[in-house]
Amino acid sequence: MEYCYRNDRTRMNVNINNTAHTLPAAATLADALALLQAKPPFAAAVNKNFVPRAQYPHTALCEADQIEVIHPVTGG
């Protein structure tokens, strides 16, 4: 995961599933998922990079990050 510069701002803007959201500047992927109230099962990616579930609380987000939350689809 890439390092992002932390500025003096207290909030940052990210896109989650192509929708703009504002999060605290020190937010993690786990914080973004909590904002969405995401219910398992799902997979998550930041800037098109899959993030293992165990890394959600350790994945720092940066201004303008693109987050995708993908739910499995069943049926035929």
Q: What would the pLDDT profile of 30-47 be if each residue is shown by its tens digit?
A: 999 999 999 999 999 999
User: Domain with 49 in it: what CATH number?
Assistant: 3.10.20.30
Mean of pLDDT values over 57-68: 96
Residue-range definition of the domain harbouring residue 51: 11-70
Residue 11 in tokens:
């909030």
Could you give the CA distance from residue 34 to residue 17 in angstroms, rounded to a whole number?
A: 14
Residue 6 lies in a domain: no
More confident residue, 8 or 72: 72
> What is the count of structural domains for the chain?
1
Q: What share of the chain is helix, strand, coil (3-state, %, to 5)?
A: 20, 35, 45
Q: Specify the amino acid at residue 75.
A: G
Residue 2: pLDDT band (50, 70, 90) is low
Backbone angles phi, psi at 5, to 5 degrees: -70, 130
Residue 76 lies in a domain: no
Would you say residue 6 has pLDDT above 70?
no
Of the chain, the percentage scoring pLDDT greater than 90 comes to 82
Residue 27 lies in a domain: yes
